[in-house]
Structure 1
Amino acid sequence: MYHQVSAPLWGSLGWSALIAALPLLVLFVLLGVFRIRAWLASLVGLALSLVVAVAAYRMPAGAAFDSALEGAAFGLFPALWIVVNAIWIYQLTRRSGHFDVLRRSFARISDDQRVQGIIIAFSFGALLEALAGFGAPVAICSVMLVAVGLKPIKAATIALIANTAPVAYGAVALPVITLAKVTGLPLPDLAAMTGRQVPVLALIVPLVLVVVLDGRRGLRQAWPAALVCGASFAVAQYLMANFGVVQLTDIVASLVSATAVLLLLRVWKPRPAEPVPAADVAPPPSGGGGATTAVRTAAAATDTRIEVVRAFAPYVAVIVLFSLAAVPPVAAALAHTTSTFGWPGLHVANASGKAVTLVQFKFDWLADSGTVLFVAGLLTIPLLKLRARDALRAYGHTIVQLRTAALTVTAVLALAYVMNMSGQTATLGLFLAGAGGLFALLSPLLGWFGTAVTGSDTSSNSLFGALQVGAAGGAGISPLLMAAANTSGGVLGKMISPQNLAIGASAVGLAGREGLLFRRVLAASAVFVPLMCVLVYLQSTPILSWMVPS
């Protein structure tokens, strides 16, 4: 049994935190400064985390490598299992020619790419996050944005930035539910407190999206659509989190926001934008294959109603299947197929002597989001009248396309597990928790850091939720506020997580250019994170303490 130590270097928490942060610092510097390919930067970070675990934390080498293997296994399942099947569905629509029909259908809703970006990336992406999470919204929305004419790098950037506000209640509220379990705090109170923080992001994110899409001109000409979308989402999210069923929070909010924008477009149209620079316009999707390639290549007016229905059918199937899987009796039945077991050879206890729960590997082969997407893909084959041979070729093409992303995701999660199991992550958390009353200002950074490393707000809550509550008690701050701050800060780390960067880049055929994507989204993260830190700090003072449930 390996027992974690919080301050392995001379008993100093500061020096220990510095050496613990080294793998992540090197990883992000390699990505953002030296523009090293993500898979190589991740392998370097993983190697450093192993060295720190063994040399500084005195973790047995066998246990350190077993931690890395468990993280890599988690990267393959469920992370990559979800992404492969999400992109496979896109490949099927592309091979059948219905992706062009889909693009023209969005153009009929509005011919303005800024409005299309808001509806697809924010509203539809929020719905996918509510139902699936774990990278599926970024993968699907990125390729849909390419379908409406955006360059791949801008499409992936928009999808990543939009995947923020819905994350706290994503995957049917799994992050908040997990936070309640690890902290022992009531779920309704946690959901309500989080619902008084993340809706502020929802108000701002659509406005940021139009700026990224079209600069100041986009904000000046399309702000009504962005404001209506963000405000309607924020109000619905707040009401559901505080007074409704927490599992349905993002589902309701996403549908309300999309409906609000569609109603707005009946009485308002954005001013026609000048032609988009060629650098930001995607060429028409190429590729395809099979007997049914290019269902429609004529003008939008020639698309029949049945072809439009077929174009949307795969995504309707995704929504229906995830909705069915979330029904309590169905979810309970699926849960019976889940197998949980201790990772072989890995026995770890934290500094207080309690067994670390991360050593338990959950293999929910039937209940997993990736399996639901796989079933949706199988349904897509007859819906789009594709041959089984073409569908199989599309799956093979998807695997080849994701080969470097697979290496990146497995390496990053291996790094995260080594840091978590050895105690490096706990050291960093304790170091920030030592800020006393200022901890309220730094608290969201813990959640942001946890999600940036693991790519999951749920994992971040598992890592730091209990630590936040303990630190809050020592600092005389509301434990409920600090716990909610962890998940609210965590939603902002998702866009810069190497795992999600790899997913976004690979989805649009830019594997290996994750560093460029990282620099594109870093500015948005740098704006949102201080905003959340200030909001949480003010909620810890008499200025906004009335927002904290009593």
Structure 2
Amino acid sequence: MHWTQVIDPFNNIVLSALVALIPIIFVFWALIIRKMKGYQASLIATLIAVIIAVAVYGMPLWLAALSAVHGALYGLFPICWIVITAVFLFNITVKSGQFEIIKHFMASITADRRLQGLLIAFSFGSFLEGTAGFGAPVAITAAMLVGLGFNPLYAAGICLIANTAPVAFGSVGIPITVASQVSGIPEMAISQMVGRTLPVLSVVLPFYLVVLMSGFKKTLEISPAILVSGISFALLQWFSSNYLGPALPDVIAGIGSLISLVILLKFWKPAKPWRFDGEVATAPHVENKYSFAQVLRAWSPFILLTLMIIGWGMQPIKGVLNAWGMVQFEIPLIHSAILDTNGNALPQIFKFNYLSATGTAVLIAASIAVPLVGLKLSEGVSVFLATLRQLKFPIVTIASVLAFAYILNASGITITLAEILASTGVLFPFFAPVLGWLGVFITGSDTSANALFSKLQRETATTIGVDPVVTVAANVSGGVVGKMISPQSIAVAAAAGQLVGKESDLFRFTVKHSFLMLTFISFIVLAQAYFIKWTVPSYQMLDGKVAAPDASHGYGYLLTFGVIIILYAIIVRIASR
């Protein structure tokens, strides 16, 4: 039995779009006005989505239910798997006492909360986004800031907002790769276009973050640090995205801005370290009382995390791991049962890549770190079980959020909203980022939003005489500012920032900043489409053929990588004696 999606159930696209907005408006109302807990809001929103899909769009109830199940499965794996392992890695660092050394080391660089936020949330978070993505950067950086003594709400909120700059190039450029595959525009051209939009946001983001933390006057006190952090990041992001492609901008910009800021702090420091209200004042500078070996041991979980994620991101290694450890199956009864408006069957396949998943890389890093930080195996297991108990409500929230997203997509509700935006004619370039923003809000992923809307962006731009790379790139760029209010991201940040049950507070903290940044990007895209066309790169459309990845050298890569990990563990072990 097949069911064909209905995009305009009322034969009036405006009315259909208003009804399609109801589940999304409910999420805003529940979190901002009603202040519901995250898992409650997401479960009710899922139920509303099912009712509209069945009663308005004519979707069979069994298809809606199976779509929800498929989404919940994806929420559990790989999303929850990443969150669980990331928080586990942080928890073993705390349990072993090594995080106290990290806190002291950070204070020896700077005791100033503003600068710690830039180093960890902005620079280190960008690096993690470039290598891992899928919520891991926010989970890790938010947990680190809370561990350092940050107010949990500020820690989680700042990490969500800081995560906007790198999202477009996250997970080694996967969002742009997917946009290229769907739209037929070369990924280098999309990378260049995004790299001529986001650096404008990146250069002001450190200033924006610090103002949120400390106010305008206190922000001016660390102007040199803000300029170094923002300008170094933006320049490196622009250069790498325009000349190296979409895979490395986050890694290069994140590490480059971190190193640049640390070098600056060797020669300059604010006159007085700033702390949150109520915190005990500290001395202007703290000397590092720990040896290099002790610091290396304390940081070893995060160094291992970095190494593992880099290794797992290499295509040859990923190919080997998928060959040995991936199970994929068609979701029974729903696979190819839904047809789009063109009559094409929509595949519903669940991929359980348990070896190549980012969460597995994090788990391996954490497992290797257990003995390195001085914990027994039994203690590591206890910490893992405690982590599962800690995250029980976030797991429910994330699973239900993804169920919500899959119902909206499978029923055609998402496409209804896209169609109304595409009907704005010559103003479409202004609304093109809104489409990406909407896609990320619903799905929690810039990659998924690009898969949904890149083709529509290209076709609409061509119709109105605008270069399609402008609007396809706008989908990518607009999506990054939707990440900070996506219910999935809110749930991840709340879990890591010890804000379980207070997701509404976090949502209200970030939502106004998301709209402000979205408007900023929309005006930039409008200018690129009509007024500063010289910023658009030259390119030729793809022929539709996608080369298969070469995994022939995967075993050699994997062996070399394993030797590197073992050598590092031995070095830490010897140095710790």
TM-score by length of 1: 0.94
Structure 2 distance, partners of 1:301, 1:120, is: 19
- Offset, 1:340: 3.3
Residue number among 504, 520, 536 corresponding to 1:548 in the alignment: 536
Say if 2:436 and 2:446, in contact at 8 Å, map to a contact too. yes
Who is 1:7 aligned against? 8
Structure 1 distance, partners of 2:395, 2:170, is: 23
Say if 2:461 and 2:471, in contact at 8 Å, map to a contact too. yes
Who is 2:343 aligned against? 353
Who is 1:293 aligned against? none
Is structure 2 residue 508 aligned with structure 1 residue 512? no
Who is 1:340 aligned against? 328
- Offset, 1:301: 4.6
3-state SS, counterpart of residue 39 of structure 1: helix
- Structure 2, unaligned stretches of length 5 or more? 539-577
- Offset, 1:266: 2.5
Say if 1:82 and 1:134, in contact at 8 Å, map to a contact too. yes
Say if 1:96 and 1:386, in contact at 8 Å, map to a contact too. yes
Q: Identity rate of aligned residues, in percent? A: 38
Who is 2:308 aligned against? 321
- Offset, 1:356: 2.4
Structure 2 distance, partners of 1:373, 1:80, is: 12
- Offset, 1:518: 0.7
- Structure 1 range deviating more: 86-95 or 317-326: 317-326
- Offset, 1:300: 6.5
- 1:350-398 deviations in Å (ceiling 9; x for gaps): 11112224x2222211111111111111111111121111111111111
1:282/1:3 CA distance change after superposition, 3 Å = farther
Match for 1:378: what amino acid? S
Structure 2 distance, partners of 1:65, 1:300, is: 59
3-state SS, counterpart of residue 350 of structure 2: strand
Is structure 2 residue 298 aligned with structure 1 residue 311? yes
TM-score by length of 2: 0.90
Structure 2 distance, partners of 1:267, 1:498, is: 42
**Aligned 1:116-515 pairs, distance under 5 A:** 116-273=116-273, 276-278=276-278, 281=279, 301-336=288-323, 337-346=325-334, 347-357=337-347, 359-515=348-504
Structure 2 distance, partners of 1:232, 1:349, is: 48
- Offset, 1:275: 5.1
- Offset, 1:341: 2.9
3-state SS, counterpart of residue 486 of structure 1: helix
Structure 2 distance, partners of 1:535, 1:245, is: 21
- Offset, 1:268: 2.0
- 1:140-185 deviations in Å (ceiling 9; x for gaps): 1011111222111111111111111100010111100111111111
Number of residue pairs matched by the alignment: 530
- Offset, 1:5: 1.2
1:275/1:38 CA distance change after superposition, 3 Å = closer
Match for 1:210: what amino acid? V
3-state SS, counterpart of residue 342 of structure 2: coil
- Offset, 1:331: 2.4
Structure 2 distance, partners of 1:199, 1:352, is: 38
Structure 2 distance, partners of 1:460, 1:374, is: 28
Structure 1 distance, partners of 2:498, 2:147, is: 13
Structure 2 distance, partners of 1:199, 1:341, is: 41
The RMSD of aligned alpha carbons is 1.5
Match for 2:407: what amino acid? V
- 1:479-537 deviations in Å (ceiling 9; x for gaps): 11110000100000110011111111111221010000111111221221110000000
Structure 1 distance, partners of 2:289, 2:257, is: 30
Say if 2:112 and 2:274, in contact at 8 Å, map to a contact too. no
Match for 1:458: what amino acid? T
